[in-house]
Chain A
Amino acid sequence: MAQKLKKIALVASLALATIFLALQAQAQDKMPAVLPANWDNVLNEARGQTVYFNAWGGDPKINAFLEWLSGVARSRYDIHLQHVKLAATSDAVARVRSEMRENERDNGSVDLLWINGENFAMMKSGNMLFGPFAEQLPNFKYVDRIGKPATLKDFTQATDGYESPWAMAQLVFEYDPQFVPTVPKNSTELLAWITKNPGRFTYPQPPDYLGTTFLKQILYEVISDRVVLQSPATQAIYEKETAKLWQWLDAAHPFMWRQGQGFPASESALAQLLADSEVAISFSFNPGRASAEISAGNLNPNIRSFVFENGTIGNVSFVAIPLNSKNKFGSLVISNLLLDPLVQARAQDPAILGFMTVLDIKSLNLEDQAAFSQLDLGVATLAPDLLGKSLLEPDVSWMSMIAQDWQKRYGVLK
């Protein structure tokens, strides 16, 4: 009896192993090392490919947008666009790194990746990216390279064509006018408001992306010479320039939400606190977010937004193609499609995403320009001319040093 069962188990495991082996490495098709000059060729080669687009999947609005994009890609180019929903971009970066360590050239699982900042810097310096390709994309000519220099510079790092921009973001504060009759114009006024309204302000715990962005924003406000932020931080400069940032935080923390003894985990957790009225001022990296949430019925309709008079940090979302992507032609076509004026206009619609376009609208034909001018920005969105100056992201070194220092100073309760 047991013999028989044992045999069954043995046979079963052997069968499993055989199936695994049989499923191994299929034929690998060769990919170009650089972009072919002829775009029609790219379109032909891309036909029928499945592009695995690895992008953060935490926002249903973004997911719905990518599903719509997938429909366009299919009908226009016969490309199957699959959104691989990530909880964190670094998951995909780690996957590409592992695959490349195993020498999986041209057979990787990530075809296209939503990326910027540190992850891009890591992948580019690690020779993990395909390119340069961005400037050869037919729609790249519409990108506003002069007015939006951040489309070519990602956290001070030149993109060199290894990633293609698709959306602009800028830090905006969201507030409840009931508790904030006059909005703070700078960090000094914000601090004054915080001390007068204890428990009603907080920021996501660094090293969360939005949390460190807030710290960088305050640093921009209190620093004597903003230019130093554009080069790598040396220890001496860093210590001198950040002293006022820590003073600001030391003054603010005792009057913040939970007396600075606890912080929300992420951008969405902070957003929830605003929706629950636990805080009266919050902030996000998307100027259209508050309007979009109000129109979706998730946020108090009286919420409005503001920016600092000396500007707030802005940055750009890019897409990049890993060097080991299996479907590079398809990924190129999707990168180009993301720059299509109609796609950009849809992304900017607050009812859809509320992301700001990377294109220079004046360079478009009249019909496409109309698609943008017809957009209703929503009740809580600042008009482009009220959005103020978009500040460049500081060099990556500032971000990681500040995040580490924050951890040392505030990361463990005394």
Chain B
Amino acid sequence: MSPVLRPISGQDQGAFMSLWSWNGLWPAIRLSLVTGLAATLIGLAMTTALFALFQGHRIFRVFLRLVAPFLAVPHATAALALTFILAPSGWIMRGVVTLFNALGIPISQTPPDFITINDPGGLALIFGLVIKEVPFLVLMCVAAWAQCDAPRRRLVASALGYGRITGFWLTIWPVLYPQLRLPIFAVLAYSMTTVDMAMILGPSLPPSLAVQISKWITLPEPLYQGMAAAAAVVQLTLVAATLLVWRFLELMGRAISRAQFQSGIRGLSLDGPIKFFGLVFGLVGFGVLIFGLLALGIWSIAGLWPYPDVLPQTYTPRVWAEAQSGVIKATQNTVILALLSTVPAVFLVLAVLQSEFLGKRTYRIQRIIYVPLLVPQITFLPGLYQLTLTAGISGQTLTVAFAHFIFVLPYVALTMGPAFRAWDIRYAMVASAMGASRKKIFWQVRLPMLLCPILISSAVGIATSVAQFLPSQLIGAGRIETLTTEAVALTSGGNRRLIGTYGLVQSLFPAIVFGLALWVPTLTYRNRRTLRAPK
């Protein structure tokens, strides 16, 4: 039986009691809630501002080019990159000390004892989450964009004298948001349940609920196993409740937007300040990420690099040389698992969507595929693992691929579904009037027009598969080595040299895939402007 249900079934009756008596429970819940909501709201606001103010601008095009690498960087790697910039012994402080030394101004040669990362309020964690979420939300907007008819809506809004922000909010947002809702839910649930990022950037006295669960589950005493299971139930309830809160925010947003619409306020003065703050936040945030990744790259070839040196004293290819043997086999497994899980998922989702479009019955039960996004992995994977044991199929590539499929499927569905449904049915009518069969319309009109979202959702699927740690490790009985299982085991210590190396290797395959997904439509549709990704 899955550990989630164990406390409920009465096997561990003391578990909930022990959990309630834990003095960190409320702070941990508050932390999960605040960081999750704040990160999602800020991330969404930044994404919206980017599309409303900068779409068509050079800044937007530059950012879009960076989306693929940003998305491909594993969360833990991004978190460590930020750490090395912001920590009291990080690059910023090293730069300051080196500068002071050069100018002859006396300054302490040891790092100051500040709390920058792991701050009790969780600000560093929110910062890290926003940085990783914005690229994902931008990608979701890109996938939805073609079905929004944005240029004409914008034209109308500006012709009526609305500012860019207000015009976007009143005309494009209402068609864009429904396509974004599920991805946003996924982002919100992820932010509340993330373990790796919260472990590196978040506070630890107490940590967020998800981190605490993952800590308890590794302790040998049965008491903690029970508490972990009980806390997982709390976590699930918390996520569900937060989604309801989000629903309430949606309604509020709608009310505000209606009022605004009726007031006729053009909101021209909003554009300037939002542009300014958006630029500042964006530049600082992504600047820190870019420099952090650069630093990790340097760490991967660094010999001795003591504080306050800005650059290493010596360089060595040792870490790369040592990683070589493990990486080749792991890369093979990673690619095989990614394809075995993503290709069936894409076909399945397309088939379901097309049959829904043709008016065939759809079942509400389909929504069950989204459950893996909302439930923390650690809580239901042990149950799934038990199932593979009962069936005697654990530790095999196909079984692991199937476990990946369970996590890949919802991401593929939520990235493809909205764009598929938003497709303008009049194209089908025109084609059908010209005598095209249903089959022909599907293969020769609809699929080509949906190339951009299909490629993006395949890329998201592949990246999701590549990032899976627990399913690979648990269902694979530790025998199917992937880049991520290798990286997690090796970096469980937080060794920057290893994280630099493995972070780069892990990012490479998804970066290529995301790059292709964004680039191929531009190439294929050289002469079909509206089908390309927005610029």
Contact = CB atoms under 8 A, between A and B. Distances in A.
Given A262-B205, A276-B89, A59 B391 contact: no
Contacts of B493: 58-59, 266-269, 271
B515 interface: no
Given A60-B498, A109-B394, A412-B23, A262 B113 contact: no
A87 B217 CA distance: 13
Interface in B463-497: 473-474, 477-479, 481, 485-486, 488-497
B477 A95 contact: yes
A262 B204 contact: yes
A37 B489 CA distance: 38
B96 interface: no
B220 A122 contact: yes
B348 interface: yes
A9 B205 contact: no
A238 interface: no
B218 A259 contact: no
B360 interface: yes
Interface in A224-259: 257-259
B95 to A, nearest CB: 15
B344 interface: yes
Contacts of A278: 87-89, 110-111, 307
Interface in A82-122: 82, 84-88, 90-95, 98-99, 101-102, 104, 109-110, 118-119, 121-122
Contacts of B89: 273, 276-278
A257 B307 contact: no
Nearest to B470: A91
Contact of A95 (B215, B390, B391, B474): B474
A102 B398 contact: no
A64 B13 CA distance: 45
Contact of B438 (A1, A90, A408): A1
A300 interface: yes
B16 to A, nearest CB: 18
Contact of B490 (A16, A63, A104, A271): A63
A80 interface: no
B223 to A, nearest CB: 9
Interface in B312-328: 314, 316, 318-319, 322, 325-326
A365 interface: no
A60 B203 contact: no
Interface stretch (A20-28, A135-143, A341-349, A387-395): A20-28
Interface string B493-534: 111111000000000000000000000000000000000000
A110 B393 CA distance: 15
Interface string A193-204: 000001110000
Contact of A1 (B318, B382, B442): B442
A259 B113 contact: yes
Chain B interface size range: 35 or more
A412 B358 contact: no
A181 interface: no
A67 B304 CA distance: 26
A312 to B, nearest CB: 22
B392 interface: yes
B285 interface: no
A410 B204 CA distance: 11
A54 B478 contact: yes
A57 B360 contact: no
Contacts of B497: 298
Contacts of A257: 113
B392 A24 contact: yes
A87 B492 contact: yes
B306 interface: yes
A241 to B, nearest CB: 21
Given A85-B485, A277-B307, A297-B316, A58 B492 contact: yes
A33 interface: no
Interface string B356-391: 011010000000000000000000001001100111
Contacts of B495: 58, 60, 268, 272
Contact of A20 (B395, B398, B481, B496): B398
B355 interface: yes
Interface string A259-285: 101110111110111011110100000
A9 B399 CA distance: 18
Most buried by A among B303, B316, B326: B326
A300 B351 contact: no
A30 interface: no
A92 to B, nearest CB: 7
B318 A6 contact: no
Contact of B479 (A101, A109, A267, A273): A109
A266 B218 contact: no
Given A109-B478, A265-B204, A272-B496, A298 B111 contact: no
Contacts, number: 215
B199 interface: yes
A84 B479 contact: yes
A110 B396 CA distance: 15
Contact of A261 (B205, B395, B486, B494): B205
Chain A interface size range: 35 or more
Contacts of B120: 261-262, 413
Contacts of A94: 217, 382
Contacts of B386: 98, 101-102
B219 interface: yes
Contacts of A110: 478
A262 B118 contact: yes
Given A20-B399, A119-B220, A272-B494, A5 B354 contact: yes
B350 interface: yes
A284 to B, nearest CB: 12
Contacts of B87: 276, 278
A19 interface: yes
Interface in B290-333: 303-304, 306-307, 314, 316, 318-319, 322, 325-326
Contacts of A411: 23-24, 205-206
B27 interface: yes
B439 interface: yes
Nearest to B22: A407
A265 B494 contact: yes
A82 B110 CA distance: 43
Contacts of B481: 85
A60 B478 contact: no
Contacts of B355: 2, 5-6
A57 B221 contact: no
A23 B438 CA distance: 39
Contacts of B347: 5, 8-9, 12
A40 B204 CA distance: 53
Contacts of A408: 23
B488 A87 contact: yes
A34 interface: no
Most buried by A among B314, B357, B493: B493
A366 interface: no
A25 B392 contact: yes
Given A99-B389, A266-B493, A67 B113 contact: no
Contacts of B286: none
B487 to A, nearest CB: 10
11 contacts: A20-B399, A25-B392, A57-B492, A58-B495, A87-B489, A88-B492, A198-B113, A259-B113, A266-B494, A276-B89, A297-B303
Interface of A: 1-2, 5-6, 8-9, 12, 16, 19-21, 23-25, 52, 54, 56-60, 63-64, 67, 82, 84-88, 90-95, 98-99, 101-102, 104, 109-110, 118-119, 121-122, 179, 198-200, 205, 207, 257-259, 261-263, 265-269, 271-273, 275-278, 280, 296-301, 400, 407-408, 410-413
Given A88-B218, A109-B478, 18 more contacts: A2-B354, A6-B360, A24-B393, A82-B479, A85-B478, A87-B488, A90-B220, A94-B382, A95-B385, A199-B113, A261-B120, A262-B204, A278-B111, A400-B221, A410-B205, A412-B205, A413-B120, A413-B203
